[in-house]
Amino acid sequence: MMLFRDMPIRKKMMRIIFLISGVVLLVTCITFFIYEFYAFRKTTLEKLSTIGKIIAANSTAALAFDNAEDATEILSALQTEPHIVAAGLYDEDGNLFSKYLSATTFIAFPVKPGEEGYYFVPSHLEGFQPVMVGKRKLGTLYLRSDLGAMYERLKLYGGIVALVIVLSFILAYMLSRVLQKSISKPILRLAETARMISDQKDFSVRAVKTGHDELGTLTDAFNNMLVQIQDQNQALNEFNYNLEQKVSDRTIQLESVNKALQAVNKELEAFSYSISHDLRAPLRGIIGFATMLEEDYSSQLDDEAKRITGVIKSNTLKMGHLIDDLLAFSRMGRQDIKKTIIPTTSIAKEVIEELLSENKNYHVKWIVHEMPDIKGDINAIRQVWINLVSNALKYSANKEQPQVEIGSREQEGGTVFYVKDNGVGFDEKYKDKLFRVFQRLHSVEEFEGTGVGLAIVEKIISKHGGKVWAEGEENKGACFYFSLPG
């Protein structure tokens, strides 16, 4: 069953109107009924008393002359009063002298007349009336009336009350149907408008005001709210539009910058190609013709001349390596990263094998810890290991017992790998220069190299979203770290 608070407002109002009119009607009817009850009792009593007085007055002769027949005749006149069910005359001595019973009644008469007056007993009304002539009492009249008339009347009243209540309810229903609309209709219309707005998101709709009562105030407030929402929406839309405009402006700017960058990148590629091509050609000439000099004129060249051609050749070769390394570095910057799962430990071991096979003179003590597999571009990461491990070999080669340790440790967001050697190390204050192109902390006479290896490492790792750093101490060793995101 539907709870009152969940009912539609129309039903609520109908219920309230019914309840109020019902209670009012009931209270009115009960009051009326009680009044009628007591009024009728009084009337019945008075009527019986009047009849008693008349009968008593008519009975004086019959009593005076002891004529029972007359008395009975007089009493039988009571037949016209159907509610008087019994009547009796007692003589001076209190003996029943004459009696009357209606057709349907059988009762026992009181043996002696009782106290003068009329009174109600539960089932009926009865009383005794002295029969007087002047001041002399000739006898007593007994009258008994059943309460049928009263009950009948009350029944009639009850019927009327019920009819009135029913009619009132019908009338109340019809009136309330019409009148509740004046309250519920604006509310329903307001609710309907609110629903429509929330469904269609059309804040330009307005609720129609039907009067200047509280509902009118509510409608005004509702409409005001809509105006505010509409204003805010408009402001928001404008803001959004401006924002989109800004975004698209910025996008266009970015696109043009991007295009410019791409052009620069292309130019750089062409540049690196032409460097490699055009710079190498003359180098080839220098080295080739120096060799021709050595070969074709060897008899005319003294030792110093041969040394000089040797220096020319070795420097030219070095220039060639520099160009190659620079190209490798620039190629690494342009290459895309293709990530797969890399078996780190086996890759590191492979790299060590390769480096050892290139130079059998190494007598290094290796410590290679188990390392976790990691996601990355396998060729690029292999290059990282090659560069770091070959560095470690190179810079520890002069030690009596060179030692290289490779391992890893987990950290938040990834893994840190390290390559540690006990070689010449470096001065910590220059560690920022380590990873820059062509930056070297040792002379070429001490250790050969072009200063590109660590720059390539830095470029690869930063392309993988990782970091590189190093710790070191002069003549104690160095440790190079790189992190890769897990």
Partner 1 sequence: MDSKIVEVLLVEDSSTDAELIIRELRKHNMSNNLVHLRNGEEALDFIFAIGKYAGVREVRDSPKVILLDIHMPKVNGIEVLEKIKSDPRTRSIPVVILTSSKENPDIKKCYELGVNSYIVKPVDFDGFTKAMKNLGLYWLLINQPPE
Binding-site ranges for partner 1 (CB under 8 A): 269, 272-273, 276-278, 280-285, 287-292, 313, 316-317, 319-320, 327, 331
At position 319, the amino acid (one-letter code) is M
Considering the complex, what minimum distance in angstroms separates the CB of residue 238 from partner 1?
A: 51
Secondary structure letter of residue 207 according to DSSP: P
DSSP, residue by residue, 394-410 = HHHTTSSS-EEEEEEEE
Considering the complex, what minimum distance in angstroms separates the CB of residue 297 from partner 1?
A: 14
The Cα–Cα gap between 205 and 226 comes to 8
Looking at the Cβ atoms of 280 and 375, the one nearer to partner 1 is 280
Looking at the Cβ atoms of 230 and 276, the one nearer to partner 1 is 276
Count other Cβ atoms within 10 Å, centred on residue 146: 19
* Residue 393: both structure tokens together: 């070999």
Looking at the Cβ atoms of 21 and 330, the one nearer to partner 1 is 330
Count other Cβ atoms within 10 Å, centred on residue 301: 14
The Cα–Cα gap between 341 and 376 comes to 6
- Give which of 465, 483, 486 is closest to 337, Cα–Cα: 465
Q: Where are the beta strands (DSSP E) in 336-443?
A: 340-342, 365-368, 374-376, 403-411, 414-421
Looking at the Cβ atoms of 410 and 448, the one nearer to partner 1 is 448
Looking at the Cβ atoms of 285 and 485, the one nearer to partner 1 is 285
Considering the complex, what minimum distance in angstroms separates the CB of residue 258 from partner 1?
A: 22
Considering the complex, what minimum distance in angstroms separates the CB of residue 263 from partner 1?
A: 16
Considering the complex, what minimum distance in angstroms separates the CB of residue 379 from partner 1?
A: 16
Looking at the Cβ atoms of 253 and 274, the one nearer to partner 1 is 274
Looking at the Cβ atoms of 77 and 312, the one nearer to partner 1 is 312
At position 399, the amino acid (one-letter code) is K
Considering the complex, what minimum distance in angstroms separates the CB of residue 401 from partner 1?
A: 35
Strands 84-90 and 96-101: antiparallel
Considering the complex, what minimum distance in angstroms separates the CB of residue 294 from partner 1?
A: 10
Beta pairing partners, 119: 126
Considering the complex, what minimum distance in angstroms separates the CB of residue 312 from partner 1?
A: 11
- Give which of 270, 313, 288 is closest to 321, Cα–Cα: 313
Looking at the Cβ atoms of 114 and 320, the one nearer to partner 1 is 320
Considering the complex, what minimum distance in angstroms separates the CB of residue 343 from partner 1?
A: 29
Considering the complex, what minimum distance in angstroms separates the CB of residue 286 from partner 1?
A: 9
DSSP, residue by residue, 210-231 = --SSHHHHHHHHHHHHHHHHHH
Looking at the Cβ atoms of 221 and 444, the one nearer to partner 1 is 444
SS3 per residue for 161-189 = HHHHHHHHHHHHHHHHHHHHHHHHHHHHH
Looking at the Cβ atoms of 143 and 332, the one nearer to partner 1 is 332
- SS3 state of residue 147: coil
**For the chain, how many residues are written?**
486
466-486 in b/e burial notation, b at 16+ Cβ within 10 A?
Answer: bebbbebeeeebbbbbbbbee
- The CA-based angle 247-251-257, given to 5 degrees, is 145
Considering the complex, what minimum distance in angstroms separates the CB of residue 324 from partner 1?
A: 9
Contact 89, 99 (CB under 8 A): yes
* Residue 202: both structure tokens together: 């059309």
Secondary structure letter of residue 370 according to DSSP: -
Looking at the Cβ atoms of 333 and 372, the one nearer to partner 1 is 333
